[in-house]
Amino acid sequence: MRGNSLPELGVGLIGTGFMGRAHALAFHNARTTFDLPFNLKLVALADADAARAEKCAASWGFGRSHGDWQQLVSDPSVNLVAITTPNLLHFPMAMAALEAGKAVYCEKPLAVSLEQAREMQAAALKAGVVTRVGYNYQHNPIIGLAKQMIEGGELGRIVSFQGEFSEDFMGNGLSPWSWRCEEAHAGGALADLGSHLLAMARYLLGDVDAVCADSQTVHPQRPATRGSEEQRAISIDDQTYALLRFANGARGTFGSSWLKHGYKNHLSFEIGGTEGTLSFDQERLNELRLYRAGFPGRDGFQRILAGPAQPGYASFCPAPGHQLGYNELKTLEVHELIQALGGQGSNGTDFAEAMEVERLATAIRMAAKEMRWVSISDI
Confidence of residue 203 (pLDDT cuts 50, 70, 90): very high
Q: Output the 3-class SS for 148-194.
A: HHHHCCCCCCEEEEEEEEECCCCCCCCCCCCHHHCHHHCCCHHHHHH
Does this chain's domain 8-136 share its CATH topology with 139-324+350-378? no
Nearest 5°: phi and psi at 262? 100, -20
Alpha helices (runs of H) in 13-81, residue ranges in sequence order: 18-33, 50-60, 69-74
Q: How large is the average pLDDT for residues 159-179?
A: 97
Confidence of residue 298 (pLDDT cuts 50, 70, 90): confident
Count CA atoms closer than 13 A to 286's CA, side-chain side.
17
Tens digits of residue pLDDT in 27-63 = 999 999 999 999 999 999 999 999 999 999 999 999 9
Tens digits of residue pLDDT in 347-358 = 899 999 999 999
* pLDDT for position 1: 40
The CATH architecture annotation of domain 139-324+350-378 reads 2-Layer Sandwich (3.30)
Tens digits of residue pLDDT in 11-34 = 999 999 999 999 999 999 999 999
Q: In this model, does residue 295 exceed pLDDT 70?
A: yes
* pLDDT for position 346: 80
* pLDDT for position 249: 98
Please state the domain extents for the chain: 8-136, 139-324+350-378
Q: In this model, does residue 179 exceed pLDDT 70?
A: yes
Q: How large is the average pLDDT for residues 356-375?
A: 98
Angle between helices 195-205 and 141-151 (to 10 degrees): 40
* pLDDT for position 4: 64
Confidence of residue 345 (pLDDT cuts 50, 70, 90): confident
Q: How large is the average pLDDT for residues 247-268?
A: 98
Q: How large is the average pLDDT for residues 155-164?
A: 98
- Distance of alpha carbon 108 from alpha carbon 105, whole angstroms: 10
Q: Percentage of the chain surpassing pLDDT 90?
A: 96
Closest CA to 254 of 236, 237, 235, 267: 267
Mapped onto helix, strand or coil, the DSSP state of residue 322 is: coil
pTM of the model: 0.96
Measure CA 291 to chain center.
28
Q: In this model, does residue 3 exceed pLDDT 90?
A: no
* pLDDT for position 233: 96
Q: In this model, does residue 296 exceed pLDDT 90?
A: no
Closest CA to 110 of 95, 125, 100: 95
184 or 354: whose pLDDT is higher? Answer: 354
Closest CA to 313 of 126, 75, 143: 143
Provide, for the chain, the percentages of residues in helix, strand and coil under a 3-state DSSP scheme, each rounded to the nearest 5. 40, 25, 35
Q: How large is the average pLDDT for residues 277-303?
A: 95
The verdict on whether omega for the bond into residue 220 sits within 30 degrees of 0, i.e. cis, is no
> Whole-number mean pLDDT of the chain?
96
Domain over 8-136 is classified CATH 1.10.10.10? no
User: To the nearest 10°, the Cα dihedral for 28, 125, 87, 14?
Assistant: 40
